Structure 1
Amino acid sequence: MSTSAVPAGGEERELLPTNVSPVHYELLLAPDLDALTYTGDVRIRVRVNEATSTIVLHANELEIAEAAITSAASVQLQAPLQATSIALHADDETAHLVFAQPLAAGTEATLQLKFSGVLNDLMVGFYRSKYTDAKGEARHIATTQFEPTDARRAFPCWDEPTQKATFDVTLRVRKELTALSNMDVARVVDAPGAGLKDVSFNTTPLMSTYLLAFVVGELEYIEAQTSGEHNGRPVTCRVYTTPGKSEKGRFALDVAVQVLEYFADVFGIAYALPKLDQVAIGDFEAGAMENWGLVTYREVMLLVDEANTSSRARQLVAYVVSHELAHQWFGNLVTMEWWSELWLNEGFATWVGNLAVDHLFPEYHAWTQFLVDEFQRALALDALRSSHPIQVPVRRSSEISQIFDAISYSKGGSAIRMLSSYIGLDSFFKGVRAYLQKHKYANASTQDLWSALSEASGVDVTQFMAIWTRTIGYPILTVTELDGGAQIEIQQNRYLSAGDVAAAEDETLWWVPLRIEAHGAAGAQPAAVLSTRRATVPVAVADAKWYKLNHDTVGIYRVKYPPRAVANIAQAVADGELGTNDRIGVIADAAALASSGHSNTSDFLTLLRAYSGETEFIVWQEIAARTDALAAVWAGEGAAATAGLDALLRSLYSPVAARLGWDAGGPGEDGLVGRLRALAIRTAGFAGDQAVCAEARRRVQAYFAGDRSLIASDALGAAFAVAVRTGGRDEFEKVKSYYLDPANPADQQLAALASLGHTADPALRDELLAFALSDAVRNQDLHKAITSVGQHESGREPLWRWYQDNYDLLASRYRASMSYMGILVRLSAGEFTGTDKAAEIERFLAERDTKKFQRVVDQTLERVRSNTRWLEKDRADVRRWLASNGF
């Protein structure tokens, strides 16, 4: 490998030598779905940039049998010249080819390689996915997952984003099978060998290797066409599934047909390919992958059972489809120039995916949901010292998978939301259109986007957005009232969840849109911005009953108000004067300031009283996340503390459960009401509401006896969880049987699997942990099986022992996707408190090779230590508050 210094950001990157670069690939692959192997032949037309007799390209876990090169521009190489040496380097995943004669600079040549590989079970590269056919027999399909660096597992190639080329793909398969690739089929001919055919596809546009894809198997499909209103012609869209499931793709197909036209309109550029296929894959580590023209998904992210899928899962399908189709422009048409710019793909797709969902389904309240699912998630992770900038230096391929996280996706999307709100959607999309038009079929950087947005808006976007993308963290704004509240002084400092910011960590001055609103004002003050350490600004209305910063919770920061202002905001919440997004922001900030030590936890608990009349599900969702976190940290504080917190939770959630009841209000009921019902049942039941617990067990028993009308689809997971938690083996086995039945909707199967971890029976818990490692649980779903175990204090030590005992097995299973090991360590160790426990976790992991998920290890340890400080700081404070309030 060569190390190339890249001016942008100044970081060095381990890249392939630039003496030769690819122009066009002719790729033939012949997968054998019985032997689970494949052979391949690739002819790569290359441009010779420097005279050389050595070619280095990527290859990983491949056998290269032959390598030869031909150059029409060189008399010596008019006949194929065989490589004198083929050396595979496993450490940097490269193949080094040496030839007896050099290639002349400024010429083109054709490199031909014959190779073979295994259709692995690692969910990366060219791999196999298992399903059961109508006869109950195990079958396989062959599929791909190349992002970020696994095209090299499928065929030898230049596997870097800037090494774009065109591709001609041919798949040699059995005649009864379906073969798919990025482009439409050019021809099908008989192939050598009994019962085989060659399916050849039209030439792709110029594209990066990580976006190439192919799928082979027994598949069925449904199709529809877009209107062609904004694409200039109708585009054929299909959803492919294994046999018997295609109709469950109808909802996703309908979304795709609409979104493809919507994005062509807002981006001002037609969809570039002649077709769009979406494929449901049984074994799939990622949620979905935006392969150009051939998008692959986990089944749960694409398939909807109209009668039984929950409204939450349905909304998720709409969002994931929109997110992946956004990539067809942002990522595929214009590609980031290196993985340090990953956020250009993922942050933008996160934001615009929500924009599309809000456009198609305003009843989902996508932007309010964004605050809980993305915005608060980003702030939680970015409050850690072990976070990273949105634009994060990436030196080598082993570091890439660690940045597919809430910073690249959620903080990136939140930064786009903040910016687009400031400059206006019209200016924002004007800049986006210019950016896409200028860089289509090429690579671009964050600076390229800022330049386009600056020109479109007349605002120097780079001046303030570079701070947000190149700096870790975000600020807390501390408010001091002046002149009796007519003016306020605002000071910004870095916010850390540990609350112990050192002076050297507090040097950044962020660009902060204040968006101050006040009682009686017509709206927020959009122009007010804090870019210095402190500033004095007027409140919008003199003598206002209340004022609030960060109207609509758009800016990426926390706010600490003086006590009088907090009381006034609480009253405004109780009186219904704050909008939904602001009510979410107020409670989220209060909880975050309590856990970090900027205020007392009792202040947060007092503020909760103002939300007693709350009716909106998404607000309750944020409240539940905060009360769950409190209960988890205080779980080991003894019976009195547990009883007091349970009583508090019952006072909050039992009235909601009683008001909504168990039965859905009919076909016209808002899906968010159904989700609130489920949240109230689950939380009240776990907090010991005996009526809720008894009714959950009764309805679950009746449900499995055949009366499936007794539990609405949105409440099924909650009912299962409460029944398992408060029941015994009978409930456990019934819910387990639901998970194992493939006829049930995928989202509900996974909800059932997650419910099993709530069991209070140690023997059943141990059975579950063993079951999680069995063939009955797909590799990508193992975390679902254990996710609930650590949520209960009694399950934490057993779960941590299970992780330690099975570490080698897990590391081997996920060796090609070690980021999954990060998920498992977070679930297995992240709920603890105690400096001794943090030290124990650190010692165990220090003796293992964790470099591919070290960032998550660091974040898990930091969370454990931060929660420990929170508990030690406010142990007595919470005890006093519970006692004085009758809990």
Structure 2
Amino acid sequence: MADSARYRLPTNVSPRHYDVAFYTDIDPKSESRFGGFVNVEVDVNEATSVVELNSSQLTLGDATISSGGETQQQSAQSVDTEQQRVQFTFPKALAAGSKAILSVPFEGILRNSMTGYYLSTWEDAGEKKQYSLTQFEATDARTAFPCWDEPLLKATFGITMISHRDSVNLSNMPAISESNYEPGTEASQTPQMAKLLSSLPSGHEWKITKFENTPKMSTYIVAWANGPFVHLEKSVSLPLSKKTIPLRIYTTKDVIHQAQFALDVAERVLPLYEEVFEVEFPLPKLDTLVAADFDAGAMENFGSLLSSFTSQALTLFLGLITGRTSAFLLDPKHADIKGKKLVAMVQSHEVAHMWFGNLTTMKWWDNLYLNEGFATLMGEVIMLGEIFPEWKARSEFISAHLQAALYLDAKLSSHPIEVECPDASHISQIFDSLSYSKAASVLNMLCDYVGEDKFLKGVSLYLKKHNLSNAVTEDLFEGISKASGVDVVRLMDHWIKRQGFPVITVSEGPNGIKVRQDRFTEAGIAEPKENETIWNVPLMILSTDAEGKARIDKTAVLEEREMEFAIDTSRDFKLNANTVGVYRVLYSPERLAKIAAAAGKDGSVFKLEDRMGLLYDIMAFSRAGLAQPSGLLTVISALGANEKEYLMWSSIAEALGGLMTTFWESPDIVESLRAFTRTLFVPLVDRLGYVYKDDEPNDVTQLRTLAISSSLMGQDQGQVTSPIPADLQSSLFIAAVKYGSEKEYDAVVSIQENPKTPTARIAAITAMARTEDAVLLEKTFSYIMKKSRDQDVLYFFRGLQGNPFARRKIPEFFKTNYDEFEKRFEGNFTVRLLIPSIFNGLTTQDDLAATEAFFKDKDVSKYNMALAQALEGIRTRIAYIARSREDVKAWLVEREKQSK
């Protein structure tokens, strides 16, 4: 275990308030810079002559410290680049219990790094222009100003920005003053400010914007931006605080018309959060800033940003959210349902952070899930279900989050939800499906078990008790235990603090069922040394009575390795009703067939969520060797017989796509799978047609899109003769490039470079990656290296992963350009996210050996988790293919015989 104390700042001095003043000089023709000073009011907790805090990539001037009327100059300054710290030594010790003000001048360079304080580029009438914004989570505030960059060390912040007069300044709080700076007026300023103003780069007219002090918050939530922003605005009335506050969304003038939907979502969810949590929204406004270049999907920042990716305002407290264009922009004339869902989910998720993260913050990054798991569950399920019930958010949660979590957590190289994070390289790696999706899934299971009303009441108690402070897991459990009367610590501790999840094996007897839990891995039941955890598993047993009516027993909890439960097995039953449990259920083949047959009938007691869970479980068991893939295909046939729900068909398409990806080097199997896909989806196309209607239900629209897309995947020769609807854009772009020529390829390149919407750009990027022409594929590789935006590289690689023609070329391309990729994405999330897209298609021992050999001499500390997971995936696919090829082939041959 790492010595975590080595990576934490000393506690002899702690911050109370920061005053940060700095200029921003954006110069497209030269090097853009920023610089200023920070004055930090600190409490001296122990007598010391040494003050240590975080700093990285900054040039620091000489520090001074003032206490008790005496000011000292530093006697020494020591920088530790590895630990990203600076240590100031002063001639005299500061007295314990005293207060002091530490002053440090700093300068930095604005880079296109997507982290820290950085540049983003946009195009205005064919001219490249730039603006600046921040992305400090998790540990990059230290690259913008010297600070105690740990979440527990909360303080208040006063920000003063000096910028070119023709730009807009934004920060967490509203501006309380803004004035033009005239050279020669420095005498009216403090000596520090006068010195800063007199050193401003020449050739520009400047202005000074001073913002109101923030509430007490962590450094990673501090935010600011500077650029040519415009905004949309509306107001919202809040039910608890009885105040009306402005909502704004900021971006550049070329895309501001696409921001209305995100603003509307914020207007709808903000009052709901205040009402549900029974905690007032503390700010006088909420803003969103949308940026052209952004590493993460979006980022919540307490307060508001006057000119950046997501938001700003002008009076009193403000809230600021920042994110990338695809997460917040939507052209109403070219909007598809998928795009609308993404914008709504991201906006709702980020608003949730105003409570989970900003008002109440985890003490350290090992409890990241207290921010992200809650924001995922609340923002993307509970609140989204309230404002868009037709989207069936609870059902989609199964495919969007629960299965993503179980897929990753089935690896021995996964990690617990609450995981040790000693240093920055570890912290950046846990922003994954376990901290977001598994955490949300475990919380959702707890919510279902205790009841949503009691769960939300417990959350409210937690938020109230730790308002504007920090918390750990036990604090949350205490609140929910008090509200529900359930010993939540006992029930949930292993779900949060242990790696993995169980498979529940069900065997039937004369008096009911016997259930057994073992840790599930993607290679099957875990070996004994990895199979020691006993979870408390809410079984949620669905059973039927003599009249066929269903009931769910939520009192049945598996607390031991094996237990028995009385149930009438002559009637339909199923564990994990509604698929809210974070586990898989393994039945005998006979029982599985009965459940699948019953689930495929109209009016079945097994709801959409049950059918989805059943399919995902058999998918996982076939990969793990606990069931035959032929069984998966049989279940698909049974469930597809009378299925009408889009989400179920989407799961079926995912299962078939997964098989094609696994057996991509067996052309006979792939062609037979394509034929099977056509028999399932072409009839849906024939029934639904190609014409989209404005007044049709969302499910119909989505099912038509899926049916056409899946038929194209199956290489159906049907044609779309009407204008291309937004929902079909991606599938048709891909088909055009895959089956077309250089003309079609160049057309999607043009769309990518001049898109009408962010979704059109992503669709075009994906299509560029799907070409099966060797020359055009090389053009795509070249485009990635020479022309693509940094934030778009991930889209290119994910598109390439879906292209069998490119699958073996991707790793070689990455290896050849490894040094450039490593330098290009130094310090942000991208390389860690790229690893699965690059290596997840490999399927042979030679692939495994070559991958291990390549990384043997590389420094993988920033992505060692992702690499271990990728290598484990290759091993699993090797075993799966060897074990299952003949079984799949035999089932497909038999199906083709029967269809003739």
Instruction: Give me the TM-score of the superposition, normalised by structure 2.
Output: 0.93
- Which residue identity is paired with 1:53? S
1:79 Cα deviation (Å)?
A: 4.2
Paired residue secondary structure (1:394):
coil
- Which residue identity is paired with 1:323? H
Which aligned pairs between 1:168-187 and structure 2 lie closer than 5 A?
168-187=158-177
- Which of 621, 632, 636 is the equivalent residue of 2:665? 636
- Which of 288, 313, 334 is the equivalent residue of 2:298? 288
Are positions 1:615 and 2:644 aligned together?
Answer: yes
- Between the two proteins, the alignment pairs up a number of residues equal to 851
Which aligned pairs between 1:397-416 and structure 2 lie closer than 5 A?
397-416=424-443
1:733-766, CA deviations, whole angstroms, 9 ceiling, x for partnerless residues?
A: 2122111114x11112111111221111111111
Which has the higher mean CA deviation after the structures are superposed, 750-759 or 412-421? 750-759
8 Å CA contact 2:418–2:496 kept in 1: the answer is yes
Are positions 1:165 and 2:155 aligned together?
Answer: yes
CA distance in 2, matches of 1:200, 1:262: 32
- Which of 348, 355, 362 is the equivalent residue of 2:389? 362
- Which residue identity is paired with 1:831? G
Which has the higher mean CA deviation after the structures are superposed, 563-572 or 852-861? 563-572
Q: Which residue of 1 aligns with 2:122?
A: 131
1:195 Cα deviation (Å)?
A: 2.5
1:98 Cα deviation (Å)?
A: 1.1
In structure 2, runs of 5+ residues without a counterpart are 184-203, 303-318
In structure 1, runs of 5+ residues without a counterpart are 6-10, 700-708
- Which residue identity is paired with 1:28? A
Paired residue secondary structure (2:550):
coil
Paired residue secondary structure (2:301):
coil
1:191 Cα deviation (Å)?
A: 2.6
1:324 Cα deviation (Å)?
A: 0.6
Q: Which residue of 2 aligns with 1:792?
A: 803
Paired residue secondary structure (1:66):
coil
Which has the higher mean CA deviation after the structures are superposed, 600-609 or 144-153? 600-609
Are positions 1:553 and 2:579 aligned together?
Answer: yes
CA distance in 1, matches of 2:578, 2:430: 28
Which aligned pairs between 1:176-255 and structure 2 lie closer than 5 A?
176-193=166-183, 195-255=205-265
Are positions 1:18 and 2:7 aligned together?
Answer: no
Paired residue secondary structure (1:598):
coil
Q: Which residue of 2 aligns with 1:442?
A: 469
1:192 Cα deviation (Å)?
A: 4.9
Which has the higher mean CA deviation after the structures are superposed, 384-393 or 745-754? 745-754
CA distance in 1, matches of 2:117, 2:13: 25
Paired residue secondary structure (2:20):
strand
CA distance in 1, matches of 2:373, 2:326: 22
CA distance in 1, matches of 2:703, 2:735: 15
1:788-841, CA deviations, whole angstroms, 9 ceiling, x for partnerless residues?
A: 223233211211110111110000000111x31122221111111112211211
1:13 Cα deviation (Å)?
A: 5.9
1:438 Cα deviation (Å)?
A: 0.9
Which aligned pairs between 1:474-623 and structure 2 lie closer than 5 A?
474-483=501-510, 487-499=512-524, 501-519=526-544, 520-539=548-567, 541=568, 543-544=570-571, 546-576=572-602, 577=604, 578-612=606-640, 613-623=642-652
Q: Which residue of 2 aligns with 1:114?
A: 105
Instruction: Give me the TM-score of the superposition, normalised by structure 1.
Output: 0.94
CA distance in 1, matches of 2:703, 2:331: 21
Paired residue secondary structure (2:63):
strand
Q: Which residue of 2 aligns with 1:681?
A: 708
Q: Which residue of 2 aligns with 1:650?
A: 678
CA distance in 2, matches of 1:184, 1:488: 62
CA distance in 1, matches of 2:761, 2:332: 15
CA distance in 1, matches of 2:840, 2:323: 28
1:690 Cα deviation (Å)?
A: 2.0
CA distance in 2, matches of 1:672, 1:140: 41
8 Å CA contact 1:54–1:96 kept in 2: the answer is yes
8 Å CA contact 1:255–1:318 kept in 2: the answer is yes
- Which residue identity is paired with 2:777? R
1:12 Cα deviation (Å)?
A: 4.8
- Which of 703, 706, 717 is the equivalent residue of 1:690? 717
Q: Which residue of 2 aligns with 1:329?
A: 355
Paired residue secondary structure (1:884):
helix
- Which residue identity is paired with 1:141? Y
1:670 Cα deviation (Å)?
A: 2.5
8 Å CA contact 1:682–1:721 kept in 2: the answer is no
- Which residue identity is paired with 1:525? D
8 Å CA contact 2:63–2:73 kept in 1: the answer is yes
- Which of 797, 801, 817 is the equivalent residue of 2:812? 801
- Which of 825, 832, 843 is the equivalent residue of 1:833? 843
Q: Which residue of 2 aligns with 1:704?
A: none
- Which of 704, 710, 716 is the equivalent residue of 2:729? 716
Are positions 1:269 and 2:279 aligned together?
Answer: yes
CA distance in 1, matches of 2:182, 2:49: 35
CA distance in 2, matches of 1:87, 1:478: 59
1:509-565, CA deviations, whole angstroms, 9 ceiling, x for partnerless residues?
A: 1111111113423321111111111111122x5631x21111100111111111221
- Which of 751, 766, 781 is the equivalent residue of 2:763? 751
- Which of 364, 371, 375 is the equivalent residue of 2:398? 371
1:558-613, CA deviations, whole angstroms, 9 ceiling, x for partnerless residues?
A: 11111221121121122131211111001111111111000111111111111223
Q: Which residue of 1 aligns with 2:193?
A: none
CA distance in 1, matches of 2:166, 2:473: 46
1:162 Cα deviation (Å)?
A: 0.6
Are positions 1:662 and 2:680 aligned together?
Answer: no
Q: Which residue of 2 aligns with 1:762?
A: 774
Q: Which residue of 1 aligns with 2:74?
A: 83
- Which residue identity is paired with 2:522? S
8 Å CA contact 1:769–1:786 kept in 2: the answer is no
Are positions 1:303 and 2:329 aligned together?
Answer: yes
Paired residue secondary structure (1:92):
coil
Are positions 1:54 and 2:50 aligned together?
Answer: yes
CA distance in 1, matches of 2:256, 2:807: 41
1:443 Cα deviation (Å)?
A: 0.5
Paired residue secondary structure (2:867):
helix
- Which of 79, 91, 94 is the equivalent residue of 1:100? 91
Paired residue secondary structure (2:216):
coil
1:188-216, CA deviations, whole angstroms, 9 ceiling, x for partnerless residues?
A: 12335462111111111110000000011
8 Å CA contact 1:4–1:15 kept in 2: the answer is no
CA distance in 1, matches of 2:743, 2:703: 27
CA distance in 2, matches of 1:815, 1:611: 47
Closer/same/farther in 2, CA of residues 403 and 475 from structure 1, 3 Å limit: same
State the Cα RMSD in Å: 1.5
- Which residue identity is paired with 2:411? L
Paired residue secondary structure (1:605):
helix
Paired residue secondary structure (2:237):
coil
Q: Which residue of 2 aligns with 1:144?
A: 134
